[in-house]
């Protein structure tokens, strides 16, 4: 019996993720998606979090998003290693945040997970990729298409592949992004 119970738990887990990534992500109701993400997926969201359609996740739990954040459409959040997002963060469309990978030098291609932490007032441009274990500090900007493989200091603007610092941002940030559009 224990083996049968384990199989049902695995099936339920896979069904929850399937529904999340193939049905719920396409529901044109922000409120219904957020409800599913909180109650069924176990994600923790602060006040006024907008998460537009099309975002995919890799597992239940391991995602915390602060207050007044906007996540645009078609992002991928690899939640296996954990993702923590601060307050007033804006993440553009098609951003990929990875928290898991493989050791290419390991003879058995050993897997690993490393948490990604994103500070307050961070802006991440379209199609940027954040690699496992990266910390993006307060007020930083990640340019569109950048591949971030190392920690980003406060208020730094980074871009390129691999991302390098290309400027500094104002420290006087007061915005609160949120745009839960109807039918998005």
User: CA–CA separation, 48 vs 166, rounded Å?
Assistant: 31
Catalytic residue among 22, 30, 102, 184: 102
**C-alpha dihedral (164, 86, 77, 114), degrees to nearest 10:** 70
Contact predicate 70/177, CB 8 Å: yes
DSSP string spanning 144-172? TT-EE-S-B-TTEEEETTTTEEEEE--S-
**C-alpha dihedral (74, 75, 81, 83), degrees to nearest 10:** -130
**C-alpha dihedral (130, 81, 35, 120), degrees to nearest 10:** -50
Is 102 a catalytic site residue? yes
**Phi, psi of 19, deg, nearest 5:** -60, -40
Contact predicate 169/156, CB 8 Å: yes
Which residues are the active-site residues?
A: 102
């Amino acid at each position: 019996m224990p083996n049968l119970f384990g199989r049902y738990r695995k099936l339920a887990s896979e069904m929850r993720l399937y529904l999340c990534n193939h049905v719920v992500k396409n529901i044109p109701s922000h409120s219904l998606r957020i409800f599913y993400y909180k109650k069924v997926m176990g994600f923790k969201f602060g006040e006024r979090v907008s998460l537009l359609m099309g975002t995919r996740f890799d597992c239940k739990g391991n995602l915390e998003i602060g207050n007044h954040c906007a996540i645009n459409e078609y992002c991928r959040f690899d939640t296996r290693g954990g993702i923590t997002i601060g307050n007033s963060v804006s993440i553009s469309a098609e951003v990929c945040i990875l928290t898991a990978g493989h050791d290419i030098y390991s003879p058995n291609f050993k897997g690993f997970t490393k948490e990604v932490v994103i500070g307050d007032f961070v802006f991440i441009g379209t199609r940027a990729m954040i690699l496992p274990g990266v910390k993006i500090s307060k007020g930083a900007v990640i340019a569109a298409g950048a591949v971030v493989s190392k920690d980003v200091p406060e208020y730094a603007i980074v871009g390129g592949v691999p991302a390098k610092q290309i400027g500094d941002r104002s420290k006087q940030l007061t915005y609160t992004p949120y745009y839960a559009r109807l039918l998005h």
